[in-house]
C-alpha cells in the first residue's frame, strides 16, 4: 500500500496506493468540506494537479446526512471525483464548531451548528458515516483537547482516543483504509504513550493530531518531530490541519507524508495570496527555509494600477490570465470571481510546494 521511493535525512518521498488511485507523497489534500473545494469544481482540481482531497464527516453528517450518502453511493460518486479521498472522523469539528457538546467514554453528544439539533457521534457511528461517504482513507474518531487545556484533560483525551481507536478498528466493515491519530498535546510522555500504543494496533497509517490548535509553534515543531520518529517507517504519516508553507516544509523534513489545511483557500477568500520569492526548484529545502514566499494582500490599494502577474514564478490559470490590478478590482467590488481566482492560485502554490519537495527528496547527496 505504501512504498518509500527516496529519502533525504528524515524526509521521504513515496507512493501511496489507494482504491481510487496512486498518489505521490509528500502530498497536500485540498479541503472539500461539504463535497466541494470552495468555488472550485472537479475539473479545476484536476487542472491543479490535486491528487487526493479531504471531506469532513461532521459537515456531511449534518447535510446531506448518512442515508443520503448511502443512496448516492458516497461523496466521490455524488461530486464526480474519481481520485482518492480522505475523511476526517468528525472529532475535531465537534471540538471546534459545536459549543454545546458532552463527551463521555461512549461518545460525544453535540448540537448542530446549523440548527441546534442534538447529534451523537461515537467511534462506531463515525466509522459508519465514513463508510457511507466512501473515502479511500478514514480517520479514527478521537477526543481532541484544546491547546490550552490542563494536562489532566489532555491525558484523558489521549487515553480515550486510544480506546476509541480500538473500537474504530472493530467497527470497520469495509475495505477502506483506516488511520490512527496520535494525541497528547504538547507533553512528550503523553505523545510517546499514545504513539507506542497506537502503533501496536493494525492501522494502515498514522496521523499527528491535536496540533496547530493554539499552542506555540516551537511546541508544534517539537511534538511533530518526536511523534514522526516514533511511528513505523513503513506506514504513511499524516499531519492533520497544518499549516503555513514553511511549516509543511518542516514537517516533510521531519518525515511526514500527508497534509491538509484550510489556509490556502481561506487566505484566498480574504485576498491574501502566497507568492514565490524565487524559483521553487532552486530552493534548498533541507535548511527549513522560511523566506521562500511572501504574502501579497491583493486587495491593497497599492495594487490598483499594478498590471503585473500575481506571481512571476507561477503558471496557474489565474497567473496566466489576470493581473494584480484586475484581481484587486474584483476584491474591491466584491465579485465572487475573486474568490475563485485567488483559490486557484493559492492551491497551485501549495501543489507546486509539494512537487518541489518531492523532487528535492533523494536528489541531493546526504
Asked if 47 touches a copy of itself (CB under 8 A), the answer is no
Residue closer to a copy of itself (CB basis): 279 or 304: 304
Among 287, 333, 365, 366, binds a copy of itself (CB under 8 A): 333
Asked if 134 touches a copy of itself (CB under 8 A), the answer is no
- Which residue is listed with cell 497509517? 205
Minimum gap (Å) between residue 338 Cβ and a copy of itself = 8
Q: What is the DSSP string of 323-361?
A: BHHHHHHHHHTT-HHHHHHHHHHHHHHHHHHHHHHHHHT
Among 331, 339, 349, 350, binds a copy of itself (CB under 8 A): 339
Among 18, 29, 42, 154, binds a copy of itself (CB under 8 A): 42
Asked if 78 touches a copy of itself (CB under 8 A), the answer is yes
Among the listed residues 136, 142, 143, 260, the single catalytic one is: 260
**What is the distance, to the nearest Å, from the Cα of residue 65 to the centroid of all Cα atoms in its chain?**
22
| 125/50 Cα distance (integer angstroms) | 29
In the sheet that 237-239 helps form, which strands lie side by side, from edge to edge?
27-29, 258-260, 237-239, 205-208, 177-182, 137-139, 85-87, 53-55
Minimum gap (Å) between residue 297 Cβ and a copy of itself = 18
Q: Where are the alpha helices (DSSP H) in 231-259?
A: 245-253
Asked if 119 touches a copy of itself (CB under 8 A), the answer is no
In this structure, are residues 205 and 179 in contact, taking their beta carbons and an 8 Å threshold?
Answer: yes
Best CA proximity match to 25, nearest among 42, 46, 4, 44: 4
**What is the distance, to the nearest Å, from the Cα of residue 206 to the centroid of all Cα atoms in its chain?**
13
How many residues bind to a copy of itself according to rule CB under 8 A?
37
Cis preceding linkage at 283, omega within 30:
no
Residue closer to a copy of itself (CB basis): 235 or 329: 329
Residue closer to a copy of itself (CB basis): 148 or 321: 321
Among the listed residues 88, 136, 142, 143, the single catalytic one is: 88
Asked if 362 touches a copy of itself (CB under 8 A), the answer is no
229 labelled catalytic? no
142 labelled catalytic? no
- Which residue is listed with cell 482540481? 45
Q: Strands 258-260 and 205-208: what pairing?
A: unpaired
- Binding region for a copy of itself (CB under 8 A) out of 21-29, 86-94, 148-156, 304-312: 304-312
Q: What are the angstrom distances between the C-alpha of 33 and each of 30, 55, 248?
A: 9, 5, 21
Among 71, 102, 120, 270, binds a copy of itself (CB under 8 A): 71
Scan residues 305-324 and list those touching a copy of itself (CB under 8 A): 305, 307, 317, 321-323
Which residues are designated catalytic? 88, 260
- Which residues lie near a copy of itself (CB under 8 A)? 34-36, 38-43, 59, 63-64, 68, 71-72, 78-80, 304-305, 307, 317, 321-323, 325-326, 329-330, 332-333, 335-337, 339-341
Amino acid at each position: 500500500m505504501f512504498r518509500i521511493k527516496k529519502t533525504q535525512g528524515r524526509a521521504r518521498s513515496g507512493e501511496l496506493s489507494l482504491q481510487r488511485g496512486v498518489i505521490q507523497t509528500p502530498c497536500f489534500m485540498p479541503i472539500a468540506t461539504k463535497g466541494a473545494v470552495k468555488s472550485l469544481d472537479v475539473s479545476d482540481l484536476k487542472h491543479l494537479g490535486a491528487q487526493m482531497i479531504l471531506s469532513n464527516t461532521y459537515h456531511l453528517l449534518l447535510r446531506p446526512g448518512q442515508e443520503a450518502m448511502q443512496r448516492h453511493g458516497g461523496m466521490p460518486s455524488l461530486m464526480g471525483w474519481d481520485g482518492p479521498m480522505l475523511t476526517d472522523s468528525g472529532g475535531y469539528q465537534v471540538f471546534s464548531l459545536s459549543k454545546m457538546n458532552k463527551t463521555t467514554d461512549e461518545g460525544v453528544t453535540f448540537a448542530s451548528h446549523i440548527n441546534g439539533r442534538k447529534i451523537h457521534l461515537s467511534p462506531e457511528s463515525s466509522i459508519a458515516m465514513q463508510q457511507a461517504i466512501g473515502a479511500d482513507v478514514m480517520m479514527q474518531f478521537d477526543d481532541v483537547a484544546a491547546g490550552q487545556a490542563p494536562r489532566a484533560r489532555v491525558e484523558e483525551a489521549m487515553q480515550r482516543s486510544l480506546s476509541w481507536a480500538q473500537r474504530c478498528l472493530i467497527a470497520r466493515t469495509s475495505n477502506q483504509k483506516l488511520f490512527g491519530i496520535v494525541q497528547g498535546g504538547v507533553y512528550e510522555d503523553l505523545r510517546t504513550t499514545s504513539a507506542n500504543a497506537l502503533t501496536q494496533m493494525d492501522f494502515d497509517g498514522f496521523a499527528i493530531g491535536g496540533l496547530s490548535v493554539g499552542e506555540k509553534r516551537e511546541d508544534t515543531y517539537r511534538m511533530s518531530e518526536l511523534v514522526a520518529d516514533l511511528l513505523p517507517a513503513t506506514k504513511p504519516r499524516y499531519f492533520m490541519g497544518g499549516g503555513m508553507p514553511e511549516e509543511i516544509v518542516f514537517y516533510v523534513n521531519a518525515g511526514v507524508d500527508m497534509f491538509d489545511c484550510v489556509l490556502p483557500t481561506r487566505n484566498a477568500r480574504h485576498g491574501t495570496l502566497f507568492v514565490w520569492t524565487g524559483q521553487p526548484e532552486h530552493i534548498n529545502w533541507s535548511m527549513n527555509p522560511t523566506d521562500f514566499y511572501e504574502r501579497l494582500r491583493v486587495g491593497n490599494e497599492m495594487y490598483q494600477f499594478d498590471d503585473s502577474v500575481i506571481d512571476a514564478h507561477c503558471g496557474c490559470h489565474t497567473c496566466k490570465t489576470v493581473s494584480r490590478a484586475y484581481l484587486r478590482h474584483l476584491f474591491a467590488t466584491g465579485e465572487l470571481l475573486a474568490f475563485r481566482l485567488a483559490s486557484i492560485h493559492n492551491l497551485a502554490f501549495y501543489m507546486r510546494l509539494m512537487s518541489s519537495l518531492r523532487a528535492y527528496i533523494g536528489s541531493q547527496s546526504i
